Amino acid sequence: MKSVGFVGWRGMVGSVLLNRMIKENDFSNIIPHFFSTSQSGQNGPIINNTLFKDLKDAYNLNLLQEMDIIITCQGGSYTDSIYPKIRKNNWKGYWIDAASTLRMNNDSVIVLDPINLKVIQNALDSGIKTFVGSNCTVSLMLMALGGLFEQNLIEWISVSTYQAASGAGAKYVIELLKQMGAIYNIVCNDLSNNLSSILDLEKKVITQIQNNNFPLKHFSVPLAGSLIPWIDVDMGNGQSREEWKGQFETNKILGSENKIIIDGTCVRISSIRCHSQSFFIKLNKNLSKKNIEEILINHNKWVDFVPNNMEETICKLTPSAISGTLRIPVGRLRKLSMGNKYFSAFTVGDQLLWGAAEPLRRMLNLLINI
């Protein structure tokens, strides 16, 4: 059995990965070793009633190099500091990573096997050893619209995203909850005696959100009761890096020769888990709504089609309905007034599952069986 080193298993992506692996009984096929950047020597996770004691130091290259496979969900700065050194030391193991750091490298492959299993298999055959999870919204878009990509039907996509706080990591979720608590605390007495006017309540809430004592350490601006229309760094041309990833990563995942144009605006909202996306799509031919629906549903078993009516949309096409599941609902499908090749669609997906942990777990399983 292969020795697999886990780094970053305590964070949002890492803990979802462990839960999925326990559920699928993946630990019975590997010898796991747990590392930490901050808690070496302390107790690790409990897997199938076994406590993994004495966490290994995630900066100890000698220990890391004993692994056949390293899977890291620790983040980009860890990858930046360890990956070049371990490869320079001639370590020939497989490196699986949730961070974006290595995605652009020529010797890495972005993994999302329901979409690009052939690209992954070709890479394995040619000796590639570095496999990186995609950006979360990119994975979720490809899972939702996979059939249209597979049949080369898309000319371009304009997208608006609605991204959850947990996409930024554990500390950001905690801060969002503190912001929500600060808002509730300022009006909880008024709410229970039911005497205040709505404008008095609203004024207290806005004053609280704009107060310098509002919890802002990580987001730097309010998210609860607001939104943030910028995610990741500035590319220098008015585009955020999150927006840039849409086109670059999609085309790298597909290994496509004809570049598909994707652009839009990425927005952080105050949902806890699950990213949502609104698409305007131009196809390269006129297809009926029914035809598009069939292509989407038939592509993979996780897509659920949500008929475009109010009742089903508000019950089935929301973060609250989808959080913690592998389902990829697609709805709001309608032809647009711009012309017969244009249509809209809306999708929601758990960005900690299909957007992060699940493609890594499935890649690990491909490697275990080599």
Known catalytic residues are: 136, 275
Scored b (16 or more CB within 10 A) or e, 135-161 reads bbbbbbbbbbbbbbbeeebbeebbbeb
DSSP characters over 273-306: S-EEEEEEEEESS---HHHHHHHHHHH-TTEEE-
Residue closer to ligand NAP (CB basis): 180 or 205:
180
Residue closer to ligand NAP (CB basis): 209 or 245:
245
Q: Contact at 8 Å (CB) between 368 and 343?
A: no
Residue closer to ligand NAP (CB basis): 5 or 355:
355
Residue closer to ligand NAP (CB basis): 73 or 223:
73
Secondary structure (H, E, C), 57-74: ECCCHHHHCCCCEEEECC
Residue closer to ligand NAP (CB basis): 52 or 280:
52
To ligand NAP, the closest distance from the beta carbon of 293 in angstroms equals 28
Residue 33, strand partner residues:
5
CA–CA dist 264, 296 (Å, integer): 22
To ligand NAP, the closest distance from the beta carbon of 79 in angstroms equals 8
To ligand NAP, the closest distance from the beta carbon of 99 in angstroms equals 3
To ligand NAP, the closest distance from the beta carbon of 75 in angstroms equals 4
How many CA within 13 A on the CB side of residue 23?
Answer: 10
Helix (H) or strand (E) holding 13: helix 12-23
Looking at the chain, the number of H-run helices and the number of E-run strands are 12, 15
Pairing mode of beta strands 275-283, 154-162: antiparallel
Looking up tokens 């309608």, which residue turns up? 334
Residue closer to ligand NAP (CB basis): 5 or 14:
14
To ligand NAP, the closest distance from the beta carbon of 167 in angstroms equals 4
Which position's Cβ is nearest ligand NAP? 11
Looking up tokens 């490809």, which residue turns up? 142
Looking up tokens 């006017």, which residue turns up? 197
Q: Contact at 8 Å (CB) between 160 and 278?
A: yes
The residues of the shown chain that bind ligand NAP, judged by CB under 6 A, are 8, 10-14, 36-39, 73-76, 98-99, 133, 136, 166-167, 169-171, 351-352, 355-356
